[in-house]
Amino acid sequence: MRRKVDRFTKLATELFQMLDDKEARIRALEAALQTRRANSESEWMLPKVFKRNQNRMPVPRLEIRCHNKGGWSHYTWVYGLFYKHYEGHYLLQPMWMSKVSSGRGMPVHDGRPQPPRSAETLIRYDMRHFGLPGFVVVNDLVEELSVNPNPKRR
CA pair distance 63, 1, nearest whole angstrom: 70
Cα angle for residues 81, 84, 87 (degrees, 5° grid): 135
Residue-wise pLDDT for 44-73, tens only, equals 788 888 888 877 889 999 999 988 877 777
The predicted structure's pLDDT at residue 135: 95
User: What is the value of pTM for the model shown?
Assistant: 0.67
Residue-wise pLDDT for 2-45, tens only, equals 777 788 888 889 999 999 999 999 999 988 887 776 666 677 78
